[in-house]
Amino acid sequence: MSDSDKNADDLFYRIGQSADDDANLVVHRGKACYVVLNRFPYNAGHALVIPYRPVAELELLADDEAADLWRTVTLTVSALRRAFAPQGFNIGLNLGACAGAGLPSHLHIHVVPRWHDDVNFMTATAGTRVHPNELDKVHAVLKQAMSEISHP
């Protein structure tokens, strides 16, 4: 199987190459990474920061990709603060299938806004996710905040 065939099966690669940002819930595109809303969020504004190049491990990122990944995480936190005023964040990644990575061949960082008394326990105890906002509205608000911060 060629690299292009492998990449065709990679959802994050396809989104990264697509021009339809609204349909894919992309809120920002940088040099080496882009930001997309999670379609199955733990909280309003749950975003993923994803390198365009599909790599499974952090040490496989080139220095410029690693730097842009962290810059983009920081930009995402700033935009989420502006858009939704969260009181905290969970930021992390799962490397490898045994660590819980849903797409282990393409690393990505979760940026999850948190508020006091949010219902995060519901996923663990009841197998239920509560998301009080419509994704298209969250997308529009966060995309605007990202634009304002990245192009002042």
Residue in 46, 108, 110, 139 annotated catalytic: 108
Domains of the chain: 3-139 (3.30.428.10)
What is the per-residue pLDDT across 97-141, written as a single tens digit (0 to 9) for each?
A: 998 888 899 999 999 999 998 865 545 444 555 555 688 899 999
Residue 28 binned pLDDT confidence (cut-offs 50, 70, 90): very high
Dihedral in degrees, nearest 10, Cα atoms 95, 52, 102, 135 = 130
Q: How far apart are CA 6 and CA 91, in angstroms?
A: 28
pLDDT digits (tens, 9 = 90+) for 31-71: 999 999 999 888 899 999 999 999 999 999 999 999 999 99
User: How far is residue 56's CA from residue 104's CA, in Å, rounded to a whole number?
Assistant: 6
Residue type at 72 in one-letter notation? T
Nearest to 49 by CA among 105, 96, 92, 6: 92
Q: How far is CA 136 from CA 26, 36, 44, 87, 140, in A?
A: 11, 12, 11, 23, 6
Indicate if 108 belongs to the active site: yes
- pLDDT by residue (tens digit) across 65-102? 999 999 999 999 999 999 999 999 999 999 999 988 88
Does residue 8 surpass a pLDDT of 80?
no
* Helices marked H in 2-134: 3-8, 11-17, 21-24, 63-84, 121-126
